[in-house]
């Protein structure tokens, strides 16, 4: 099986530079949504985004339609686009489906991880810890992408596709219903998952993963609350610089 690399970094490389304009706009917006800088319900005006990124409204519309296909953006007739706002019922459904798919990931990778892949996972969690300690803006994304990297190791493009979509959808849920209290517990849970996979203990690996996802959802719902959002143009400007730097 191939050694996992950062899937999101692939998304934001040369293929999404300004030369590929819809993909570039898509990358900027998706990154901002995944890191919860653009929260659920935030309006995404085509003209303001286009002006900020130096592209036409048509280009922005194509990017928004791609995000809508992933259920990260909602487009309403005569009302424009906004970041999707899942209901509590949808939130529970997302995590139910995600939990079942992550069970398949665990089944596929348990007993099949190479020492190099285990090291990749361990280094990733160490990066999460550094990002949290340094209060880095991408800590939330790094914590979420642990699951994407693990799914990549399952060597199933279809499974990876759905996990990536559900991880991004989960970020919306966590941003809407209160960011979970991740410090230490989230990283410790990731380490426990790695340990069970490394020890070739599928029952323990699955229970740890299931408890982890259940805990993430309940910590979010238990801390339900919303903070004031920065302006869309401010967020777009910041994330355009991030994508350009990749």
pLDDT given for residue 245 in this prediction:
65
Taking Cα atoms as reference points, which of 104, 97, 109, 86 lies closest to residue 39? 86
For the cut 90, the answer to whether the pLDDT of residue 201 exceeds it is: yes
In which element (H, E) is residue 6 found? none
Query: Do residues 100 and 165 lie in contact, with contact meaning Cβ atoms separated by under 8 Å?
Result: no
CATH of domain 7-39+41-84+229-245: 1.10.10.10
| pLDDT for position 139 | 79
**pLDDT the model gives residue 183:** 47
Secondary structure (3-state) at 82: strand
Residue found under tokens 């517990």: 185
Residue 19 has pLDDT above 60, yes or no: no
What is the share, in percent, of the chain residues with pLDDT greater than 90? 49
> Given the structure tokens 């499974």, which residue do they identify?
159
CA distances from 121 to 64, 205, 213, 214 (A): 32, 14, 18, 21
- Segment 135-150 shows an average pLDDT of 84
Contact status, residue 86 vs residue 224, Cβ threshold 8 Å? no
Q: Which residues 6+ apart lie within 8 Å of 131 measured at CB?
A: 138, 139, 142
- Tell me what the mean pLDDT of segment 26-48 comes to: 89
CATH classification for the domain delimited by 88-222, as one of 1.10.3720.10, 3.40.50.150, 3.90.1170.30, 1.20.120.530: 1.20.120.530
Burial label, 11 (beta-carbon count in 10 A; 0-12, 13-18, 19+): middle
The ranges assigned to domains in the chain are 7-39+41-84+229-245, 88-222
* pLDDT score of 229: 54
Structure tokens belonging to residue 156: 């199933």
At 45-88, the pLDDT tens digits run 999 999 999 999 999 999 999 999 989 999 998 889 999 998 88
d(CA 149, CA 127) in angstroms, rounded, equals 13
pTM: 0.73
Each residue's pLDDT tens digit, 181-192? 444 447 789 999
Predicted pLDDT at 133: 84
d(CA 87, CA 135): 29
Phi–psi pair at 77, nearest 5 degrees: -55, 130
Whether pLDDT at 226 is above 60 = no
Average pLDDT, the chain: 82
């Amino acid at each position: 099986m191939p050694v996992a690399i950062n899937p999101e970094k692939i998304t934001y490389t040369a293929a999404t530079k300004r030369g590929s304009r819809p993909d570039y706009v898509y990358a900027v917006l998706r990154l901002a949504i995944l890191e919860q800088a653009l929260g659920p319900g935030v309006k995404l005006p085509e003209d303001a985004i286009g002006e900020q990124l130096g592209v036409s409204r048509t280009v922005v519309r194509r990017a928004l339609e791609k995000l809508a296909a992933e259920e990260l953006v909602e487009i309403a007739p005569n009302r424009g686009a906004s970041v999707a706002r899942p209901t509590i019922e949808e939130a529970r459904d997302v995590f139910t489906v995600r939990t079942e798919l992550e069970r398949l990931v665990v089944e596929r990778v348990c007993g099949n991880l190479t020492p190099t892949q285990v090291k990749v996972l361990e280094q990733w969690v160490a990066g999460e810890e550094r990002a949290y300690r340094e209060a880095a803006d991408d800590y939330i994304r790094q914590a979420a992408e642990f699951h994407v990297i693990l799914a990549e190791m399952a060597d199933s493009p279809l499974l990876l596709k759905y996990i990536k979509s559900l991880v991004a959808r989960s970020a919306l849920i966590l941003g809407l219903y209160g960011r979970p209290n991740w410090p230490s517990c989230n990283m410790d849970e990731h380490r426990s998952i790695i340990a069970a996979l490394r020890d070739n203990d599928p029952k323990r690996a699955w229970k740890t993963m299931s408890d982890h996802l259940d805990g993430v959802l309940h910590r979010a719902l238990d801390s339900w609350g919303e903070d004031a959002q920065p302006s869309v143009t401010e967020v777009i400007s910041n994330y355009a610089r991030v994508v350009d730097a990749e």
